[in-house]
Amino acid sequence: MHRYNIFLSLSIFLSFFICFMVSANDKTFDQRYNEVYSDKISSNVIEAERIADSLYQHAKGDLQRIKALMLLANIKHSTGDIPPALLYAVRAHKIAELDGFLEWESRTAGFLATTYRNVGLYSESRKYLKRAERANEKQRQANGYVLTKINILQENAFHAMNDANYEAALKFLNEAKQYAERDTSSSPRGILVRATNDQLVGVCYLNTNKLSLADSSFFSSLQLLGDQESNLRPYINRGLAEVALMRNKLAIAEDYLEEAMPYIASSNREELKLLLYESYAKLYSKTRDLDRASHYKDLHAKALENRTAIWQNVADQLLNSREMQQQRFEKQTVVIAIVVIALGLIFICFLILRNRRVDTSIPIVRKRDAIALAETLTKGISETDDEVHIAEETEQRLLSVLEELESTQFYLQTDITLSKLSSVMHSNVRYVSYIFRKYRAVDFNTYLQKHRIAYIVKRLDEDPNLLNCKISYLASLCGFSTHGKFSIAFRAETGLLPSEYIQQLRDKEVPF
């Protein structure tokens, strides 16, 4: 009995200890998640991505995986890298749907609605917005219902504002404000949602020439943010600058714009660039500084061109993805038809042989064998895209080949694609993509970008002669086909444009 009591006490202690450790791990995960969500994305995007990637690698359970994937999606979105942002969000949305996490099913659908709208794919945006609304209405009693409802109403307001229907937008935002008054949480997300609502109200008033109301709304948004860093802040400052410009308070307008400009360096949001460049062009036109006005008009035109290119890229990738899905569906349909026909023939043969009372030595495919065969084939057909069944021997061979190719720096080839690499490795795109995700923890395109930029950064650090070369030449050295793609990738990885990084290296040089 004494031994039994000791054993029972030890079991209880271990149970409490395990529960405590699990709770501590969750708390640590949530603390790091909130740190990235509320601060790192806007202040240090490279560090934010490192932490988010670590959170995903060490996630315990699907809920933590969803959160980590959405962090990565937000980070990619903040740097203007839209295709991987969509990829992360779609993966998170699928997990949330399969596991029945209604709050995250709604939030991920809302993110996809916002992102598709940002790149001009309005029909896709509205489709995911409806999904977000349906999922959120199923969890009316849940804690996350109110904030997600506000997000959905704000997204509806964005669509109305895109149609220049500011009265309709204000109706959505006023309804969102009523919900916001019910939420008194001090979480970073709660603060950001309420501050965003006031900022959007300010934009509506600004576009209807109600300057006092616009000014008041923008200031209210700033007050809600307090010391919390956020990518919303430059949009508020730009709004205040526009109010000042319309009141001809040019010095005040310039101060607000100068506060907003540093955020361009820490992100690659073409939308923010367009807004700030447009305001600067207005400012310098009013001050008769025509050279600067012309300069910012040119920057605005380039930003507009870049945004159009991004929109086209996302649209192309979405179209390609749908074509691949259609091809898979057609192949599956053919396979199913063949299976059905084969089973029908087998069953007919069975009936014929049975009626003829054939010798039992003749092998007959029985009904239960046919059913088992159908189930096996159907199971193979219904595999999801994320499931990759690859033999261990094949997996190790592909990893070995990849390591050999890495030693030759294959990623510096300008024309390298996942399809070409798969051919070189004597495999298929799906298997090779799986190898990158499993052993390099990134998708193929992210892998290319990181290794190319790491290569050129090392070359620049080691070879001073390269500091005098043209950016287009540096781009070609590390595998980029255009100056623009190289600059975008360089900033995404280092936080600086190539020219800025080179200037820093020049400044560090010690004269002989």
Q: How would you write the pLDDT of the chain (512 residues) with one tens digit per residue?
A: 444 454 445 444 444 444 434 444 445 887 887 777 666 555 677 888 888 888 889 888 898 899 889 988 888 887 778 888 889 999 999 999 888 888 899 989 999 998 888 888 888 889 999 999 999 998 888 877 888 888 899 999 999 998 899 999 999 999 999 988 876 667 777 888 889 999 999 999 999 999 999 999 999 999 988 878 788 999 999 999 999 999 999 999 999 999 888 888 755 677 888 899 999 999 999 999 999 999 999 998 888 887 777 666 666 666 555 545 545 545 555 567 677 677 777 878 777 776 654 343 334 334 444 444 344 333 343 334 446 778 888 899 999 999 999 999 999 999 999 999 998 998 899 999 999 999 999 999 999 999 999 999 999 999 888 988 889 899 999 999 888 889 889 999 999 999 889 989 888 764 43
d(CA 26, CA 70): 17
| Residue 53 in domain | no
Q: Which two tokens stand for residue 252?
A: 């005040």
Residue 249: what are its φ and ψ, rounded to 5°? -95, 80
Helix ranges (H only) for 408-482 are 418-424, 429-439, 444-462, 471-477
In a domain, residue 142? The reply is: no
Which residue range is the domain that position 414 belongs to? 397-512
Identify whether 460 is part of a domain: yes
Residue 254 pLDDT: 92
Find, among 328, 317, 326, 321, the residue nearest to 383 by Cα: 328
- The answer to whether the beta carbons of residues 418 and 432 sit under 8 Å apart is yes
Residues 293, 284: contact at Cβ < 8 Å?
A: yes
Percent helix, strand, coil in the chain, to 5, is 80, 0, 20
State the pLDDT at residue 3. 46
Residue 495 located in a structural domain? yes
Q: Which residue type is seen at 199?
A: Q
Please give the pLDDT value at position 213: 95
3-state secondary structure 199-215: HHHHHHHHHCCCHHHHH
The angle at the Cα of 161, spanning 157 to 166, to the nearest 5 degrees, equals 90
- Examine residue 14 and state whether it is found in any structural domain, yes or no: no
Q: Of 130, 132, 142, 97, whose CA–CA distance to 111 is shortest? A: 132
DSSP assigned state of 128: H
Tell whether 494 is covered by a domain.
yes
Q: How many domains does the chain have?
A: 1
Count of CB atoms within 10 A of residue 288's CB? 8
Q: Is residue 81 part of a domain?
A: no
Neighbours of 53 (CB within 10 A): 16
Tokens 């307090």 found at = 226
Question: Residue 321's pLDDT is what?
Answer: 55
**Whole-prediction pTM:** 0.51
**Which phi and psi angles does 245 have, rounded to 5°?**
-65, -40
User: How far apart, in whole angstroms, are the C-alpha atoms of residue 383 and residue 85?
Assistant: 24
Handedness of CA 107, 113, 114, 115 (dihedral sign): positive
The answer to whether position 7 is within a domain reads no
For residues 345 and 455, give the distance between their C-alpha atoms in angstroms, rounded to a whole number. Answer: 60
CB 39 within 8 A of CB 227: no
- What pLDDT score was predicted for residue 268? 61
pLDDT at 212: 94
**CA–CA distance, 208 with 287 (Å, rounded to integer):** 25
pLDDT score at 400: 92
The length of the chain is 512
Q: Letter for the amino acid at 386?
A: D
229 contacts 42 by C-beta, under 8 angstroms: yes
Q: What is the CATH number of the domain that holds 463?
A: 1.10.10.60
